[in-house]
Amino acid sequence: MFNHIAVGTNDFERDTEFYDAVMVVPGHACFISGEGYRGYGQHYDIQFWVLTPFDKDDLGLRPHYHPNYYGACVRDPDGNKLQAICHHAED
């Protein structure tokens, strides 16, 4: 049903220190980290992400993730960003 859950942060260092400690308890250590993002869980399983603010209200291919990554974002009535993605190649 879902691929990942992400939370945004305005203090990336502080929050990744917190999530490093929290996520290791259920066995979900960091598997990837870079400037403004950190992923916990397994690479091809359900994941939890901490991200710096980003603006992705658009839709379309995002080949910097992988060639078939297609994403679309909308905001719910409270302003939370929801993203739907597809990993399958176009038929």
pLDDT number for residue 25:
92
Provide the pairing of β-strand 47-51 with 4-8.
parallel
Fold (topology level) of 1-53: 2,3-Dihydroxybiphenyl 1,2-Dioxygenase; domain 1 (3.10.180)
Given a cut of 60, whether residue 49 has pLDDT beyond it is yes
State the average pLDDT for the chain: 80
51-89 tens-digit pLDDT: 776 655 567 887 877 888 887 777 777 777 777 777 777
Question: Taking the model in full, what pTM does it have?
Answer: 0.65
Q: Which residue has the tokens 């990554």?
A: 69
Given a cut of 90, whether residue 17 has pLDDT beyond it is yes
27-48 tens-digit pLDDT: 899 998 988 889 998 777 778 8
Cα angle for residues 83, 33, 54 (degrees, 5° grid): 35
Q: Which residue has the tokens 């990336």?
A: 12
pLDDT number for residue 2:
66
Would you kindly state where each structural domain of the chain is located, as residue ranges?
Answer: 1-53, 55-91
Per-residue pLDDT band for 14 (boundaries 50, 70, 90) equals very high
10-24 average pLDDT score: 92
